[in-house]
């Protein structure tokens, strides 16, 4: 799954630490999500989208291999 969390976060001038605190996760979790190493739970994805004021679809995109 591809995501635009880092791009949106930087555009809004939100640090990883601030996003992590608001989402009640570690900064390392946010880093891992941004790097595509960790696919967030539905709850975490909804929290991130709410904090960044973006839809889930704007932040997370399924790639063709995700459908296989």
Delimit the domains of the chain by residue range. Answer: 2-59
Mention the CATH class of domain 2-59: mainly alpha
The half-sphere exposure of 9 on its side-chain side, counting CA atoms within 13 A, is 20
What are the pLDDT digits (tens) for 5-19?
999 999 999 999 999
- Cα separation, 32 vs 27, in Å, equals 9
Determine the length of the chain.
68
pTM above 0.85, yes or no: yes
Note the pLDDT tens digit of each residue in 22-58: 999 999 999 999 999 999 999 999 999 999 999 999 9
């Amino acid at each position: 799954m591809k995501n635009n969390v880092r791009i949106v976060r930087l555009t809004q001038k939100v640090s990883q630490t601030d996003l992590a605190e608001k989402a009640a996760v570690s900064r390392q979790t946010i880093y891992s999500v941004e790097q595509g190493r960790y696919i967030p739970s539905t709850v975490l994805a909804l929290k991130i989208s709410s904090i960044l004021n973006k839809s889930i679809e704007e932040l997370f995109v399924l790639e063709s291999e995700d459908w296989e």
